[in-house]
Structure formats: C-alpha cells, structure tokens
Structure 1
Amino acid sequence: MKNKLPSIAGGLLGLAFIAFGLNHFIPFLPSPPSPEEGSPTAMFFAGLYVSGYLGFIKAIEILGGILVAIPKTRNLGLLALGPVVVNIIAFQVFMTGGAGLIQPPVILVAVLSAFLLWSAREKFAGLLN
C-alpha cells in the first residue's frame, strides 16, 4: 500500500490540475462569483486575462497535470507545478487575506503536492547541493 499512495496522490493531483486547466479553455465547471469591481483581486485577474498570461498558466497546469499523473514523469510534473502551487497559496494569503486557504481545492492541491514532494525527497535532494 505504501508504494501505491504516491500513484494515487499523483493521479488525483494530475486530475485536479487537468480539470481546472481545461476549464479555462472549455468551461464546464460552474464559475465562482466575480470579485468586487475595483478590488485588488479583480484588478489582478483583469491583468492576467488581458495579457494572456492566465492562458499560459492554465496550459502549464494541463501539461504539469499530465506529467504528474504518469509515474515516470511525476517529478518533472512537480517541477512544473511547484511555482503554480506556490502562487495559488500566495494568492489566497495575500489577495483574500487567508480566507481562501480553507477552500477544499486549495487544501487538496497543497497537501497532495507536499506529499508527492516528500515521497520523492531523495530525488530532489540533488537540487539543493
């Protein structure tokens, strides 16, 4: 069972990123309520949409999700998704004042990413030397 947990976690994390990434291009999930106009959150997302940067991020999410779901490429996928996960958490801390940290998708992504990183820590240790 111990060897199956990273595969299950990788599959779930990959599925989450593929689903949320594809939802940007082909909307199939309900949209969250729009932020209050003129708020920092609204201005932040306006900049991401207008510049096309959000499309790039979502493409990285899809690619990283696919890579994380495949056991042989999981670590490469974690490297691609690491900055995305950090930015998701930073957004929730700084833009929502921490209120968004208790949302289930945020918790799921953070916990699964941390677990996969911890389970492959010996492979990532070379990056720190």
Structure 2
Amino acid sequence: MKNKILFVVSLLFGLMFINAGLNKFFNYMPVPKDMPESLVKLMTAFMQISWLMPLVGAVEVIGGVLFITNKYRALGAIIILPVMVGVILTNLIYSPSGLPIALPLLIINIWVIIENRKKYLPMVS
C-alpha cells in the first residue's frame, strides 16, 4: 500500500514539475493578477538573465520525469531539491500565499529522499 501511495504522490509531484518547467519554455499559464509588486520585480530581474529560466525549466522537466520513474526517483528528488528550496524561500519572502502548495511539495520531496537514503550513502562515504 505504501508503494502505491508513493507512486501516486510521485506521479502528481513529477507532473507538476514537468508542467512548471514546460511553462518556462512556452509561457502558456497566465501570470496571476494579484502578484505582489516585489515578486513582479524579482521575476522581471530573473527574466533579464536569458539563460536562467531555461536552465530552471530544464531542471524541472528532467527532475519531474526522473521523479515519476521508480528506478530514478532518488536522482530526481536530489535534482529537484535546490529548485524546491528556491520555491520555498521565494514564497516565504515575497508571496506567503503560495506556501500551502509549496510546503506539501517540499514534504513529498523530503519523504522521497528519506525513503531512498541508502542510495545516497555511496556519495557521502
């Protein structure tokens, strides 16, 4: 039962990141109208760095695809972790209204990392 729950949660998590990553390339999701001014300034500054958003988008898509697959889920979780830290910090500082979505995603990511902790031991030993 635990494996089935983990698969469904990982599938949804991975699809959310694939969607977010593809949006950075194709811009098909509208920008919310009620974004705080400071967050708009931050995103505008990020967009000025021409390679940053495509890089983050590629990391999100690759990490999302890996996160869905059982064999490479541990690698996907590690790849997505820095993006999740950025999402959490951005929501904490600029837009706390996004935390109800970001915190469960961080918890899922940490859960998968803990479940796969034995796979990471060769990296730290």
TM-score (norm 2): 0.83
Distance 2:67 2:56 in 1: 16
- Partner residue in 2 for 1:109: 105
- Partner residue in 1 for 2:49: 51
Distance 1:73 1:45 in 2: 31
Query: Structure 1: 5+ residue runs without aligned partners?
Result: none
Higher relative CO (Cα under 8 Å, sequence separation at least 6) belongs to 1
Query: Structure 2: 5+ residue runs without aligned partners?
Result: none
Aligned length: 123
Task: Find out whether 1:121 has 2:117 as its counterpart.
Answer: yes
Q: Aligned to 1:72, what secondary structure does the other structure show?
A: coil
Please provide the CA RMSD for this pair: 2.0
- Partner residue in 2 for 1:64: 63
Counterpart amino acid of 1:42? V
Quick one: structure 1 residues 16 and 66, their matched pair in 2 at CA, closer, same or farther if it must change by over 3 Å? same
Stretch deviating more after TM superposition (81-90 or 52-61): 52-61
Distance 1:114 1:16 in 2: 16
Q: Percent identity?
A: 27
TM-score (norm 1): 0.81
Distance 1:92 1:109 in 2: 13
